Amino acid sequence: MKFFIDTADVKEIKELAATGMVDGVTTNPSLAAKSGKKFLDLVREICAVVPGPVSAEVTATDFDTMMKEAAVLRKIAANVTIKVPLTPDGLKACKTLSGEGVMVNVTLCFSPAQALLAAKAGASFISPFVGRLDDVGTDGMALIRDICTIYKNYAFKTEVLVASIRHPMHVVEAAKIGAHVSTMPPSTLRQLFNHPLTDKGLKAFLDDWAKTGQSIL
């Protein structure tokens, strides 16, 4: 499974990229607004840090303006992925851009039917939002299972990018199902490293080593 981080905080991106665990980055208008930076400069800076796909979302809702914005965004770097909403105009833009060899991330997916449409439009990634579904009393992971089953049935090349991840078990469950990518906040990626028994075991090893009075260096 690929790990993307869902943030526009360049400092966080650099720190986590240094671990070798970051395969890409997803951003959205809300995250970009929190950064306080100019959007195009921000995307350019992120693309310079992470060689993998960096999703940059259009803000237009009509096809013609989406295409104009996409033309600007795709010039920033080769690893820019154009992020479009799962609307008729968004899927039309996806079909056009993917036909030109541009990576496209179709976002705000909440049903298997929507995911099927995105795959037929040639999306590189589909972003189903599991956390938001959980928030309204629906099983977000059931959506991931349905999408993965449908995509396997027809050998679609679209990758399932699990979004709106709230905790490590979302990542684990998505991996068990067979989703291709999990995009998560930096805090969730850091939580994946943690287990109390790891900390306890390491402390015991170091305490025993200290008793020997030895040094490797």
**Structure token digits, residue 211:** 């008793």
Closest CA to 144 of 117, 181, 106: 181
Parallel, antiparallel or unpaired: strands 181-184 and 2-6: parallel
Q: Which residue, chain included where needed, has tokens 């999306």? A: 123
- 4 in the Ramachandran plot: left (φ > 0), alpha (ψ -120 to 50) or beta? beta
Q: How far is CA 160 from CA 70, 82, 96, in A?
A: 22, 16, 20
> Taking every pair of C-alpha atoms in the chain, what is the biggest distance, in angstroms?
71
Q: How far is CA 217 from CA 72, 208, 210, 212, 214, in A?
A: 53, 17, 14, 14, 9
Helix 88-99 / helix 112-120 crossing angle, nearest 10 deg? 30
Cβ-Cβ contacts under 8 Å for 30 (sequence gap 6 or more): none
11, 14, 83, 152: the active-site residue: 83
- For this structure, is 14 an active site residue? no
Residues marked active site are found at 83
